[in-house]
Amino acid sequence: MTEESTTPFSEWLRSGSELDWTAVVTHPFAEAIGSGTADMRRYLEQDFQFVDAFTALLGAAVAAADAFEARVAVGRFLGLTVADTERGYFHRALAEVGGETAPATLEPVTVEFRDLMDEVRRGQDYPLILAVLCVAEWTYLGWASRITKLPEGFVHREWIELHSGPEFEAWVGFLRGELDRLGPGLDADGRARVLRVFRRATALERRFFDMALG
């Protein structure tokens, strides 16, 4: 990415992670969620292990953001969606599929992804925090928005609804907009650091779906 580039920074990051990105948004497991046929037990058990780390990462974004309005946007999403709606979904869905909130074994990709969240949280580098948040949310919007007919069972249907629709699109738009705002002000090393984290997160999303598919 050059100083003169007109490509939005978030799109430059996405294009730099293209193979893994497309593999996530078109993944067979995501398609199975859309058709209501995915076995969600192991997937949700492992995904629930991110809730605490993801909540802490959002808190770090509030602390590290360079603007009040950004803090408000992140704080609102944290309070209304993650701490309320999403947490409630996990408990109901895990009960429905016979899953556990504390499985005996964590998959290697779960551990690695949680470690990445903790790493950028501790670093308090706002663009790096945004990179992980953006991958986690934008890839999910990518596959969920491809689904044209919602399945009947609430476990699949509500998971799709949590990651699609106008409100979630606006949240992803905010994350992308923050990256687009900050990217041009980073030097070459700074942009490279963000790209490395973005690529790591995207590769981990792909591996997580691979794990869920079995």
> Residue 1: its pLDDT value, please?
61
> Residue 85: its pLDDT value, please?
80
> Residue 3: its pLDDT value, please?
46
Pair 85, 145: CB distance under 8 Å: no
Q: How far apart are CA 208 and CA 29, in angstroms?
A: 10
- Given the structure tokens 């007919």, which residue do they identify? 149
> Residue 79: its pLDDT value, please?
84
Q: Give the angle 33-26-98 at the CA atoms, nearest 5°.
A: 25
Q: What do you get for the CA distance between the two ends of the chain, in Å?
A: 37
Give the confidence band of 156 by pLDDT, cuts at 50, 70, 90: very high
Q: pLDDT per residue over 49-107, tens digit each?
A: 999 999 999 999 999 999 999 999 999 998 877 667 888 899 999 999 999 999 989 99
pTM for this entry: 0.95
Q: What is the dihedral of CA 19, 25, 31, 35, to 10 degrees?
A: -170
Q: Which two tokens stand for residue 195?
A: 């790209």
Please determine, for residue 129, whether its predicted confidence score (pLDDT) is greater than 90. yes
Q: pLDDT per residue over 193-213, tens digit each?
A: 999 999 999 999 999 999 999
Q: Which two tokens stand for residue 146?
A: 């491809």
